[in-house]
Amino acid sequence: MSARAQPVNPWSIVATVLGGLIGLVLVIWITMLVFYPGTPPKQIQVPSLKGYTQEQARERLEELGLRIGSINIEKTDTAPEGTVIKQSVPAGAMVDEDTAVDLVIAIGEEIVPVVNVEGLMLAEAQQRLEKAGLKLGKTEEKFSREPAGTVIHQSIPAGTSVEKGTAVDVDVSKGPEKPAEEGGLTEEPAEQEPLPVDPLVDVEREPAPAFKDPQVFKLRVRVTPQGQQLGQKIDIWYTDQTRVRVHAGTFTLDPGDTKEVAIQAHGRTTIEVRRDGEVFFEDTFEPPDTSQPTP
């Protein structure tokens, strides 16, 4: 009699097939490890970060899959304080995901308060200004009841915040004016000085497209003295959203002269103009609306 065939176990067939599939997957996996050790990282285009605050730059980099590297600071008067002025990877470059971009943040000049020197002798006033990080500017002698050599007026009021090294002009007493002697020759009466007339001030607002921050804009301040008074001393000040009062310059102008000063403002900004120490113009300006298309 011939031997009876044994029935085939279906589970053994399933096990054989599964074993083969597992072995094939292992072979493919080992081959990928040997010949393709890793997939290339995602490439990302670096954005321009100039004009951004540090926090804005961080958010922009992180939303693209990049990150901030080291932070350095640099003094400058061409960019708002606290904004990015340099980046280690240039805008437009393609880099790997999670690349660090180093930043340089702008800081302004050191700000110091103006000290009071009125009532001091000129040499003592100069010493006090220099000790406070300021310097003595122009001096002008005027008749006064105060003793000769005493400072009777300063161009920048005490307590005002200014950049370190700012010059403060002063008026110095040359004592009381002596009356003409009796019986002597009498001087002809001096011509009456013309009454002062307020200068004309024109302020022009301009956007600053070089900066991403819409709060950064330019103000052009033009001052033209009027009347007949010569040598009018003009001071221009501004205060923006940083709340620091900044001295934009002092100028001596005659009627008909025009002086223009360009100010880089940040947010709501107040312009103040003084003539011979007295405020005659003050106005506040908002950043221009850049959302409207230019016609």
CATH number for the domain spanning 246: value is 2.60.40.730
**How distant is the alpha carbon of residue 93 from its chain centre?**
27
Residue 66 has a pLDDT of 95
Whether residue 148 lies inside any domain: the answer is: yes
Whether the predicted pLDDT of 295 surpasses 50: no
Whether residue 19 lies inside any domain: the answer is: no
Q: How many CB atoms lie within 10 A of CB 184?
A: 7
**Confidence tier at 294 by pLDDT (50, 70, 90):** very low
Whether the predicted pLDDT of 4 surpasses 70: no
Average pLDDT over residues 102-112: 83
Whether residue 263 lies inside any domain: the answer is: yes
Torsion angle, alpha carbons of 175, 180, 185, 186, to 10: 100
Beta bridge partners of 101: 68
Whether residue 264 lies inside any domain: the answer is: yes
Query: Which pTM does this prediction carry?
Result: 0.40
Q: Cα separation of 71 and 57, whole Å? A: 11
Taking only the tens place, the pLDDT of each residue in 92-101 is 999 999 999 9
Domain limit, last residue, from 107, 129, 154: 107
Whether the predicted pLDDT of 170 surpasses 50: yes
Q: Are residues 103 and 144 in the same domain?
A: no
**Confidence tier at 33 by pLDDT (50, 70, 90):** low
Domain extent for 213: 200-285
Q: Are residues 102 and 119 in the same domain?
A: no
Q: Are residues 102 and 146 in the same domain?
A: no
Average pLDDT over residues 4-19: 68
CATH of the domain at 102: 3.30.10.20
Taking only the tens place, the pLDDT of each residue in 53-84 is 989 999 999 999 999 999 888 887 777 878 89
Q: Are residues 76 and 153 in the same domain?
A: no
Whether residue 189 lies inside any domain: the answer is: no
Taking only the tens place, the pLDDT of each residue in 199-222 is 999 999 888 766 667 788 889 999
Residue 184 has a pLDDT of 47
Please tell me the total count of domains within the chain.
Answer: 3
Whether residue 11 lies inside any domain: the answer is: no
Q: Are residues 204 and 235 in the same domain?
A: yes
